[in-house]
Amino acid sequence: MLATSIPKYTQNELVALINEREINLTNEGYGDLAIAIEKNLIFDKKLFLQCAEILKIDKKEIFDVEYISDISFRGEGSEKDIENIVKLFKIMVQQSKLRGNINV
């Protein structure tokens, strides 16, 4: 069985989680992170670690990946349809995570 890996926490998810807490990042000493979020910059390792600190996420967990496994199935002639559905589902999950949908 093949598996696809996707980041456990994307930048958009982290920003959404931080925004939910309504934290004043500049006042809390996270000015670089505040600027990166405001200007929609790509986070580096330092900024991801700051997000982990703010959200109280383990610093190793912030860089974890999740695996999406292919489904198992039986049937004649339906293999190609199911493969296409699995591909579509994987793409939808990845896009949701990239957009910051944290409930996926």
pLDDT tens per residue, range 9-68: 999 999 999 999 988 999 999 999 999 999 999 999 999 999 999 999 999 999 998 876
DSSP, res 71 = P
- For the chain, the C-alpha Rg in angstroms (whole number) is 18
**The pLDDT of residue 71 is above 70:** no
Measured between alpha carbons, how far is 104 from 93 in angstroms, rounded to an integer? 7
**pLDDT score, position 73:** 43
Measured between alpha carbons, how far is 62 from 39 in angstroms, rounded to an integer? 22
pTM: 0.62
